[in-house]
Amino acid sequence: MNLASIPRQELPELLCRMPKAELHIHIEGSLEPELIFSLAERNRVQLPYPTIEALRAAYAFTDLQSFLDIYYAGASVLQTEEDFFEMAWAYLLRAKADNVVHSEIFFDPQTHTARGVPFATVINGLDRAIQQAGKELGLSASLILCFLRHLTEDDAFTVLEEALPFRDKFIGVGLDSGEKGNPPEKFSRVFARCRELGLRLVAHAGEEGTADYIWHALDLLQAERIDHGVHCLDDPQLVTRLVQQQIPLTVCPLSNVKLCVFPTLASHNIARLLACGIRATINSDDPAYFGGYLNQNYLATFAALPELGAAEAYQLARNSFEASFVDAETKAGWISLLDAFFQQQCA
């Protein structure tokens, strides 16, 4: 396959049309202001913003915490199973439009159970949308339960207990929310329990936190993938390990700029991560808050970084499949689909 033969002006269409997986999307971060307002009205929830425009205008973040405050407030409109279904279905339709063939979706149950919403309401609504996407859209998706790291490990054990009757409806656990001051080791016992239960393990690390958080997520939590992980380049020994073990990073370029992890997309390190041989992927994180869904992340990143061309597009899509938690046969099927797509582009 001679990827260099693909002209640069064909890149945007190629990025949009290529089959891909998304591995880092918080479903509550797909809640668009319009849906927040309609659910608030339906559920009689008072919002601190008078209009959709006023809410959108508040999406000017200075760091992760300034975003999380608004994100948790937005999620407070979700109350019924139908609300969770509608949110997830809206995301899955957008993913389908972006030629996503598989998505591994984070959800934050503690945000909802703390408001008295039963765990069953949350997961049954999300799962119904996923089942429907499989049947009607031909899109496969699975759920990853995230523990909120600003809460305690006992809180994480409590939600894990609530989740276990629904063990067949989620494939793994993750760790999200405010990173600084909440290191991975705070959750080492609950992650060990999840490992015994056969759950897949991921963790946000090295988004705002240092490279040490990535080491600890790998060594103390046994995380199989690192969410964000962009601070790994500060530590050459860590880079060697990520490359040798082909540990995937689920990178979210638009998120990183919105949360001031990088000042601009042009200064983002995704091209360097790939050049080092790290299994990096592109993802949308919280698309309703950060200016775009998956294809928008690809388009804006490639437009900002001239080092990224067709070879990197192929590598990123391939990495997204390699890094997914599906069986080897399914993975191979998607990679064949990707190869056939690129072969056609080269012809």
Active site residues: 207
Contact with ligand ADE (CB under 6 A) among 27, 64, 211, 238? 64
Q: Tell the residue number behind the tokens 């159970």, with chain if given.
A: 113
Q: Nearest 5°: CA angle at 291, between 176 and 182?
A: 15
Q: From CA 57, how far away is CA 289, in angstroms rounded?
A: 11
Dihedral angle, C-alpha 100, 4, 246, 172, nearest 10 °: 0
Q: 203 pairs with which residues across the strands? A: 226
Burial track 181-192 (b if 16+ CB lie within 10 A, e otherwise): ebbbebbbebbe
Q: Does 98 bind ligand ADE (CB under 6 A)?
A: no
Is the Cβ of residue 76 or residue 284 nearer to Zn ion in the bound state? Answer: 284
Q: Which range touches Zn ion (CB under 5 A), out of 132-140, 279-287, 292-300, 334-342? A: 279-287
Name the binder of 104 from Zn ion, ligand ADE, none, CB < 5-8 A by kind: none
- Residue ranges in 196-215 that form contacts with ligand ADE under rule CB under 6 A: 204, 207
Q: Does 312 bind ligand ADE (CB under 6 A)?
A: no
- Two tokens at 83? 């609300």
- Contact between 101 and 334 (Cβ < 8 Å): yes
Contact with ligand ADE (CB under 6 A) among 111, 113, 140, 255? 255
Rama region for 283: left / alpha / beta (φ>0; ψ in -120 to 50; rest): beta
Is the Cβ of residue 88 or residue 101 nearer to ligand ADE in the bound state? Answer: 88
Name the binder of 207 from Zn ion, ligand ADE, none, CB < 5-8 A by kind: ligand ADE
For the chain, the distance separating the N- and C-terminal CA atoms, rounded to the nearest angstrom, is: 9
Is the Cβ of residue 285 or residue 312 nearer to ligand ADE in the bound state? Answer: 285
Is the Cβ of residue 64 or residue 211 nearer to ligand ADE in the bound state? Answer: 64
For 232, 254, 264, 309, the CA distances from 304, given in Å and listed in that order, are: 21, 11, 9, 11
Name the binder of 81 from Zn ion, ligand ADE, none, CB < 5-8 A by kind: none
Q: Does 286 bind ligand ADE (CB under 6 A)?
A: yes
Name the binder of 191 from Zn ion, ligand ADE, none, CB < 5-8 A by kind: none
Is the Cβ of residue 292 or residue 309 nearer to ligand ADE in the bound state? Answer: 292
Is the Cβ of residue 133 or residue 288 nearer to ligand ADE in the bound state? Answer: 288
Q: Hey, CA dihedral for 87, 70, 21, 307, is it positive or negative?
A: positive
Contact with ligand ADE (CB under 6 A) among 26, 200, 258, 331? 26
The backbone torsions φ and ψ at residue 259, rounded to the nearest 5 degrees and listed phi first, read -95, 15
Q: Which range touches Zn ion (CB under 5 A), out of 3-11, 84-92, 281-289, 295-303? A: 281-289
Contact with Zn ion (CB under 5 A) among 98, 179, 285, 312? 285
User: Could you write out the DSSP letters of every residue in 201-233?
Assistant: EEEEESSSS-HHHHHHHHHTS--SEEEE-GGGG
Q: From CA 123, how far away is CA 342, in angstroms rounded?
A: 37
Name the binder of 177 from Zn ion, ligand ADE, none, CB < 5-8 A by kind: ligand ADE
Q: Residues in the site for ligand ADE, rule: CB under 6 A?
A: 26, 29, 64, 71, 176-177, 204, 207, 255, 285-286
Q: Residues in the site for Zn ion, rule: CB under 5 A?
A: 285
